[in-house]
Structure 1
Amino acid sequence: MSEYIWQCPFCGSDQPVTDNERQVAIADLTLPNADGPRRLVTKFVVCPNAKCRKFSLSASLHGREVVGTRVYTGKHLTSWNLVPPSRARAFPVLLPPEVLEDYHEACLTLDLSAKTSAALSRRCISAMLRDYWRVQPGSLNDELRQIKGTADPLTWEAIESVRRSGMIG
Structure 2
Amino acid sequence: MSRIGYARVSTIDQDLDTQVAKLKAEGCGIIRSEKVSGASRDGRCELATIIDFLRPGDELVVTRLDRLGRDTRDVLNLIHECEQRGAFVTVIDPHVSTRGEMGHVVLTVLGMVAQMERRFIKERQREGIERAKGAGIYKGGSARIDHQRVFELDRGKMGASEIAKAMGCSRMQIYRILKGSLQEPT
Give the TM-score normalised by structure 1.
0.26
The structure with the largest helix share of the pair is: 2
The structure with the largest strand share of the pair is: 1
Give the TM-score normalised by structure 2.
0.24
- If asked which structure has higher relative contact order (CA below 8 Å, sep 6+), I would say 2
